[in-house]
Structure 1
């Protein structure tokens, strides 16, 4: 393809309102040609940098690389946004074709010996170049990334690494598409009123809406969307239906059919171990932990095992309480995983004396969005103004312009809140455009959720956990919005993996601040604030079932690390998983939050591979960081908020994470505040 107008200009040039792409002008078939041509241009641009006859400088090499690749970046951003948020067969076919090509392209760039020689020369001379702190971090990132792509390898070893990366990209795409297909295909349609026994009205309404979406109008449907299946497991009186839903939910990617992810896991682990060896590391975990705060698998396991022991003890007490209730109600079966949420909810309701549906009327989605904006305004002086009618990736998505304390344009924020069959599960933040003073760009940031969509014309209401999820992802969004750096490669969330969850988890704390709850948790009809007694009950219940919650998460992190901390892949990952859980004495009535066959964090790509621990590592930071505000006696203390904005939300990867945190807090944290927050002390 020639480089002369054969690409849809709406992909290459974003000239919509506020610098957004004109998504309405892009067809599904436009992405692949633009990406292919992006590969061609990016190779030519990197070759021109490599062939520069002038000696390498930071400006003519690193800054030149920072300025290159615009077409590929724009096309890839739009394509993967579409793939994650509103996919279809055309997009999925293109994803299968293009994913290995992205890996191959990265390998081709790294193979340019002259380009790497320039980067390596600068790295070796870094102390004599007069670079500022951010430039050192950018140079370090380029050097490390090129080495990880095999730039320092020779001949067959380099070719093998490129082949491994291509195959890993194929496997990650197949893994994600298999999980999505299992989620989209499974449905449990309920016809009998008795099938709804125990379910709150909010869950019944969500199931009715899901039934309409799946073509079963007038009935009720349980789907594998977390916003439906978790409430169903929590409230349904029908033990047989709970078991059926639970087995489907935990069995995603774990069957003998076309969507079986177990062979993909085995091959992925084998290739990752080989990749680590080629790059001179003893394990894939060692490779991935290079450059993180944790540094080593041993440091990760020390934290996880400390928490695991405390969580197991707490979960044992919780199991005893549940078993006692089961016996009191006349149940003679053993406690199983599809029973835990159901009976734990009965204990919670009795102990804390409120029902989930008492909370929801006070937490309409619109008010919780406003609450998140309010906190961002109080802390950082930001204002969010909705711009209705602005085209995005889906009609459900909404657009806000973000302005700073001076009223100047700061960013664009896009919120996409409702579940649909074409969207992958979970909740996440993505940056469509990174902030960069070098490139003169402001951020475009998206939050994606999977809340149950209400029937047409009705308002959406959130559980307290849903509201916390919204605050969490908005914390990630603020990390992108608040970015104030020169170079895009260290902008926003481009930070070490075990630091990236700090801004999101920290922001969750403000949901429970009295000013926020009293101001925004108001009844959707009367406008009255949530009664103080109900607020007290909700907050008191935040550490209820702490053993279960911590086991669910920590088991995933421990298994992830165990799978990747070996010099060679386990012969049978499923057997290894079972053996590891047995070694940990995993409670039989608690399942991993993400079993390997649907553990997208670590197998739909490798960003969180050997890195799922990072949520807890960051939790140590966030608990200590919020304690700083509490110590001040003002959770909106202007001085602390300014330091937080500059050193945590604004600095991106321009500083080492330890330095960024210390600049804000004055010291590094201990796990004490985190353990107290989780109710494990």
Structure 2
């Protein structure tokens, strides 16, 4: 055990005398993490031993509540470490991550496989109806019983030992998978030097590419990276087909290059371990195990939804492909459309059909103004206000933070925005928490972070977003509100701690308000003139919302099918990842001109951890809910209807995991949804008739 002097000098373990007790980021060094983790793990192990070894008759207070209070230091240390491991990592943090992954998995196993501890929980669960618990306590007890059982608490000693080894190995493999993808993304750069290299690139992309080059010590040149905010507009605008192909293939082959960062062997081992894990717990497949604790419940239910949407989506995508091919031929481009051509020609078709291209739209979507739009929406729906902090600890100079207040001026929490792509950050966009809300240990207010990968504007220029980028910002802020508005007593139920096919409802629903004309009229303003987006451009933007929707739906669904099919296999011995991916795409009739949104070797949702494994369908499942939920607002004639917003806050955004998801949605809407609103939203309804 470290000495008390060493502990007090470790900023992760000392008192945080910072604004709003934010983590003292500037004082934390990589070597602090291991010592802090060692102390925090020992502390919780002692706490768990005291609960499990108690001779008192188990009660909710002396078992469940004490269990909920345990591990406070571990949550604090882990909250800082894992957020920075994703958003601002380095070799030292990555080494610590590899070391800690199996240790933390082993620690979790030691809690949820603890026989004496589970006996106390099970004894309470068996007589739960006679304990006089309120609804929230009943939910906590039910969730803990489920967690223990799913972690293997009922298994015999040998089965527990094997399951523990599996989960520890999976933790190590998931960490390596994620680091391999980041390494591939970090190592690639397409350097553009000549006017010919830059052909077709609009000024905003040139400025962002110049900024990326300067950050890499290539002043005077231009760099395209594998960040989605860099590569996608390059594929959209570059007239150099050879460079588009080169960049696209690098993007598509992350984790699949036959080198030290190749992920295919990791995937094969993870898939086999997941099958074994499921069978130890009494399930035929990993998908059966994973989905049993979700809204969907079964793989068949997921398969039905994916298939129902796939048929009209593929038909739309094939019609879109024919339009692209016709345009290419009309221009004398004697080519067959390839995946690296789709965005290039689609932009031209959109221009022809809607007189709308990205270069026209982007000047009206400044990052700062879209942040303001997301805050204004939260104010109109939930009465929140946001006061930017100027002096607070930062883990990177680019991050910003706001104090969030409710309608009465009371402190709600802290919101951190980390918006720009950098080589120390993994790709994608996500929400996380440095601290979650709860009331068990006092009125604990949350610290929520949104992490993005937008391209930074050139020197003195604002960062400009595509409409999809703006939608991503609203999406992640919807998750952020789910964490900020959480209003529960028990940490286990707080914020986004809900099933994966329900957690996307608050985020995807929030996207709808970005498209409201009065929001766009006010916040979509030209970055040079300050003029609001012209009405006729706004009309064209709204008319084009479902443009290329076949492509977008197909690339997403293909990833969901591959994820589901892989985890439905009862035997994956000798899995050839590339052959499997090819087999499933052929089975569903994947158009040759489109690839999966996330190819298996870089599918971090599914393999960088357990979160969305057998669960990538969740975005579509939640979209059924969000389309129907927004319709509830539209039916009132006011998309900011106060009564609906109050119900939304009460039953969804602030409720955490207080209720079963179906019960929560029904409490808000009065019924469960059908897929009709989803198909209408994506413009696919007519293709089903």
Q: CA deviation at 1:506?
A: 0.3
Give structure 1 stretches of 5+ with no counterpart: none
String of CA shifts for 1:49-74, please: whole Å, max 9, x gaps.
11121111111111101111011111
String of CA shifts for 1:558-605, please: whole Å, max 9, x gaps.
110000012222532221111111111100000000000000000000
The match for 1:474 among 459, 474, 477 is: 477
Give structure 2 stretches of 5+ with no counterpart: none
Contact 2:324 2:346 in 1 (8 A): yes
CA distance in 2 between counterparts of 1:140 and 1:214 reads 52
Contact 1:120 1:143 in 2 (8 A): yes
Contact 1:430 1:445 in 2 (8 A): yes
TM-score by length of 1: 0.99
Contact 2:429 2:453 in 1 (8 A): yes
CA distance in 1 between counterparts of 2:91 and 2:2 reads 27
String of CA shifts for 1:169-221, please: whole Å, max 9, x gaps.
11001000000000000111111111111111111111111111111110011
2:524 corresponds to 1:531 = no
CA distance in 1 between counterparts of 2:264 and 2:226 reads 20
String of CA shifts for 1:527-557, please: whole Å, max 9, x gaps.
2210011011111111001110000000000
2:141 corresponds to 1:147 = no
Q: CA deviation at 1:136?
A: 2.0
**Cα root mean square deviation, aligned:** 1.1
CA distance in 2 between counterparts of 1:659 and 1:502 reads 14
CA distance in 2 between counterparts of 1:59 and 1:328 reads 74
Q: CA deviation at 1:366?
A: 0.8
2:301 corresponds to 1:287 = no
Please show how residues 513-552 of structure 1 align to structure 2 within 5 Å: 513-552=516-555
CA distance in 2 between counterparts of 1:43 and 1:482 reads 31
CA distance in 2 between counterparts of 1:467 and 1:49 reads 48
Q: CA deviation at 1:382?
A: 0.5
The match for 1:184 among 183, 186, 190 is: 186
Contact 1:629 1:635 in 2 (8 A): yes
Query: Residue in 2 aligned with 1:509?
Result: 512
String of CA shifts for 1:591-622, please: whole Å, max 9, x gaps.
00000000000000010000000000000000
2:594 corresponds to 1:593 = no
Contact 1:47 1:112 in 2 (8 A): no
Q: CA deviation at 1:5?
A: 4.1
Contact 2:2 2:35 in 1 (8 A): no
**Secondary structure in structure 2 of the residue aligned to 1:6:** helix
Contact 2:10 2:32 in 1 (8 A): no
Query: Residue in 2 aligned with 1:568?
Result: 571
Contact 1:434 1:444 in 2 (8 A): yes
Q: CA deviation at 1:625?
A: 0.5
Query: Residue in 1 aligned with 2:129?
Result: 127
Query: Residue in 2 aligned with 1:664?
Result: 668
Contact 2:347 2:358 in 1 (8 A): no
String of CA shifts for 1:365-418, please: whole Å, max 9, x gaps.
111101100010111011100011211221111110001111011100000000
Query: Residue in 2 aligned with 1:581?
Result: 585
TM-score by length of 2: 0.98
CA distance in 2 between counterparts of 1:15 and 1:113 reads 40
String of CA shifts for 1:205-243, please: whole Å, max 9, x gaps.
111111111111100111101101000111111110000
The match for 2:69 among 67, 70, 80 is: 67
Contact 2:386 2:403 in 1 (8 A): yes
Query: Residue in 2 aligned with 1:607?
Result: 611
CA distance in 1 between counterparts of 2:427 and 2:402 reads 24
CA distance in 1 between counterparts of 2:317 and 2:582 reads 19
The match for 2:222 among 220, 223, 229 is: 220
Q: CA deviation at 1:4?
A: 2.7
Contact 2:479 2:506 in 1 (8 A): yes
2:43 corresponds to 1:41 = yes
Q: CA deviation at 1:100?
A: 0.7
CA distance in 2 between counterparts of 1:52 and 1:390 reads 43
Query: Residue in 2 aligned with 1:10?
Result: 11
Contact 1:85 1:393 in 2 (8 A): no
2:624 corresponds to 1:624 = no
Query: Residue in 1 aligned with 2:650?
Result: 646
String of CA shifts for 1:297-332, please: whole Å, max 9, x gaps.
000000000100111111111111111111111122
Query: Residue in 1 aligned with 2:430?
Result: 428
The match for 1:448 among 451, 457, 462 is: 451
Contact 2:505 2:625 in 1 (8 A): yes
Q: CA deviation at 1:522?
A: 1.4
CA distance in 1 between counterparts of 2:16 and 2:614 reads 36
CA distance in 2 between counterparts of 1:5 and 1:565 reads 52
Query: Residue in 2 aligned with 1:495?
Result: 498
